[in-house]
Amino acid sequence: MSDPTVESAPSNFIRNIIDADIESAKHQQVVTRFPPEPNGYLHIGHAKSICLNFAIAQDYPDAVCHLRFDDTNPGKEKSEYIEAIKEDVRWLGFDWGDSLHHTSDYFEQLYAYAVQLVKQDQAYVDSLSAEDIRLYRGNLTEPGKDSPYRNRSVEENLELLEKMKTGEFAEGEHLLRAKIDMAAPNINMRDPAIYRIKNMSHPMTGDTWHIYPMYDFAHCVSDAIEGITHSLCTLEFEDHRPLYDWFLEQLQTPARPQQIEFSRLNLDYTIMSKRKLHELVEGGFVDGWSDPRLPTLSGMRRRGYTPAAIRDFCSRIGVTKKDNIIEMSVLENSLREDLNTTSSRALAVLDPIKLIIDNYPDDQEEMLTGVNHPKDPEMGHRDVPFSKVLYIERSDYMADAPKKFFRLSEGREVRLRFAYYVTCTHVVKDEQGEVLEVHCTYDPETRGGKSADGRKIKGTIHWVSAQHAVTAEVRMYDRLFTIPAPASEKERDYKEFINPESIQVLKGCQLEASMAGAEKRAYQFERQGYFCLDSVDSSADALVFNRIVSLRDSWAKKK
């Protein structure tokens, strides 16, 4: 396994349990698993679980983490998702080695275990309708009551189960249930379903089965079969733990995995529910699963997030049982920290306005040197062409600017990054009063951006030479929702809170010449943020960049 190993994984209550289990010699080897259902794409919430499980496998001697597709419901699952999930896990930097499994690999064993339960008179075939089963289950405060089919003989149950298996019944006609206690205070223990009839072919097993196991039965047994020692899942499964343990106890499985629950990740200004993500994708509210605004791993990848940043984020947020909503700034901080050290710099003008240096010779051009990283000389430097007519950012000029505005305004001098000091003399406007051109004079003695007299220049702005610039489209992304917790909105639909400005497309952006050869990696456009080529829409003759994240901007905050 690669990089992740070097990162320090902070301790948490789960690791404390594992430490104690090793200390007490309950286990010699730790085995975890990441068990996605292939019914959608992975998101940052899954990354939390992936990092937890795989990092444990990296940190404990001889430990392993299995990747297991929980494919027990052919009605919802597709192999398309399996491939996407594998790609995402790999991209995050983890390796399941030869531990790739599917719950469907165990269908035969699962069935044998079900037969065993029937033989032990701990499971029965119910023939109530779905509606009646619901009625018989009772509710939160009232106990349920026994199904009239609850006391069928073992022989009859065996016979019916076999027929269910071979497809002799229609869906919904029968159901295999555990015989536990219809009056249990925990509703999960009120004779939960074990197998339901689904006359459907399965991506992995084709048409061999007409019945498919339910999660509660399949998951614990699969864990036991694989010798999982610690089965980590989210809080909503807490109530299922007694059932998890019940199955393994009745079946007397050799291995007894321990289920431990932790709280799922919530991030503000976005949604994490698979159902809602499906809805956004299928409803065309976003551009597919890999829309850069989505918290899906494929979306974040396209946006330009790095695996290292996501791993760092996951280790910072911790693992507990407390409900939480993490602020986006934590994620962005992890991102910026990584991007700051790894990305080389470039000058790019997103909202261009012409800057004309009146005392610079008309036909002259020269090559200046730009450092690729201000703190890392190893990243080298590059040539940046300079000439009389430049583009600068529209927001870098202001008439009647306040004292603290360290940019251009009539009479003020600024430094053009890597180039010269220029002083604004006047501007040219159109009939509407829009500024068309900013005119300046430059000081030839300040080549490279420094002066012999040591005069202090407070402001440095970026620029590109108009005749050398390459034009590009730049997509600026912002939070997908306008409120911090769209998912917990009770009165209104979360889709009403989609941020209409979550994507802003800028055309005609002017980038420094070297960007014509931009590679598939992140760049910092100085003073603006981190950007990368869009993997889908960018081409050599029509560059499209995504803004991964902006730079911190204490000036904007102050205003």
Q: How many CB atoms lie within 10 A of CB 417?
A: 17
Q: Which of 7, 37, 473, 489 is catalytic?
A: 37
Check residue 203 for interaction with RNA (CB under 7 A).
Answer: no
Sign of the CA dihedral with 52 first, then 58, 61, and 64 last: positive
> Which of 182, 325, 379, 506 touches RNA by CB under 7 A?
325
Which residue, 32 or 302, has its beta carbon nearer to RNA?
Answer: 32
Residues 253-292 that bind RNA (CB under 7 A): 263
Residues 391-410 that bind RNA (CB under 7 A): 404-407
74 SS3 class: coil
The DSSP string of 101-126 is: EEGGGGHHHHHHHHHHHHHTT-EEEE
* Nearest-approach distance from CB 503 to RNA, in angstroms: 23
Residue with tokens 């911790």: 318
Burial of residue 357 (number of CB atoms within 10 Å: 0-12, 13-18, 19+): buried
Rounded to 5 degrees, φ, ψ at 198 are -140, 110
With contact defined as beta carbons under 8 Å apart, do 198 and 211 qualify? yes
* Run of H or E including 340: helix 328-342
Check residue 108 for interaction with RNA (CB under 7 A).
Answer: no
The DSSP string of 273-312 is: -HHHHHHHHHTTSSSSTT-TTSSBHHHHHHHT--HHHHHH
In Å, how far are 34, 112, 169 from 173, measured between CA atoms? 34, 22, 6
Binding range to RNA, per CB under 7 A, among 200-208, 216-224, 247-255, 382-390: 216-224
Check residue 137 for interaction with RNA (CB under 7 A).
Answer: yes
> Which of 25, 62, 206, 322 touches RNA by CB under 7 A?
322
Active site residue 437: no
Which residues contact residue 312 at a Cβ distance below 8 angstroms, ignoring those fewer than 6 apart? 7, 334, 337, 338
**Would you give the binding string for RNA spanning residues 5-44, x where CB under 7 A is met?**
------xxx--x------------------x-x-------
Residue 288 φ/ψ region, left for φ over 0, alpha for ψ in the -120 to 50 degree band, beta for the rest: left
Binding range to RNA, per CB under 7 A, among 50-58, 109-117, 246-254, 414-422: 414-422
Which residue, 417 or 495, has its beta carbon nearer to RNA?
Answer: 417
Residue type, 558: K
Which residues contact residue 80 at a Cβ distance below 8 angstroms, ignoring those fewer than 6 apart? none
First-residue to last-residue Cα distance in the chain: 47
Measured CA to CA, the distance from residue 171 to residue 164 in angstroms comes to 9
Which residue, 430 or 491, has its beta carbon nearer to RNA?
Answer: 491
Active site residue 274: yes
Which residue, 196 or 388, has its beta carbon nearer to RNA?
Answer: 196
158 SS3 class: helix
Measured CA to CA, the distance from residue 26 to residue 456 in angstroms comes to 68
Check residue 475 for interaction with RNA (CB under 7 A).
Answer: no
Q: Which of 264, 321, 354, 447 is catalytic?
A: 264
- For RNA (CB under 7 A), the number of binding residues is 89
Residues 500-539 that bind RNA (CB under 7 A): 524, 526-527
Check residue 380 for interaction with RNA (CB under 7 A).
Answer: no
* Nearest-approach distance from CB 244 to RNA, in angstroms: 11
Check residue 72 for interaction with RNA (CB under 7 A).
Answer: yes
Measured CA to CA, the distance from residue 433 to residue 436 in angstroms comes to 9
Binding range to RNA, per CB under 7 A, among 46-54, 214-222, 508-516, 539-547: 214-222
Binding range to RNA, per CB under 7 A, among 212-220, 352-360, 497-505, 513-521: 212-220
Measured CA to CA, the distance from residue 441 to residue 445 in angstroms comes to 12
Query: Both tokens of residue 8?
Result: 């320090």
- 412: DSSP letter: -
Binding range to RNA, per CB under 7 A, among 43-51, 107-115, 298-306, 337-345: 337-345
Check residue 321 for interaction with RNA (CB under 7 A).
Answer: yes
Residues 226-245 that bind RNA (CB under 7 A): 235-240
Which residue, 72 or 510, has its beta carbon nearer to RNA?
Answer: 72
Which residue, 36 or 299, has its beta carbon nearer to RNA?
Answer: 36
Residues 170-199 that bind RNA (CB under 7 A): 171-172, 175, 185-188, 192-193, 196-197
Check residue 360 for interaction with RNA (CB under 7 A).
Answer: no
Check residue 207 for interaction with RNA (CB under 7 A).
Answer: no
> Which of 92, 314, 319, 464 touches RNA by CB under 7 A?
319
528 SS3 class: coil
> Which of 150, 163, 276, 417 touches RNA by CB under 7 A?
417
Binding range to RNA, per CB under 7 A, among 150-158, 159-167, 368-376, 535-543: 368-376
Active site residues: 37, 264, 274
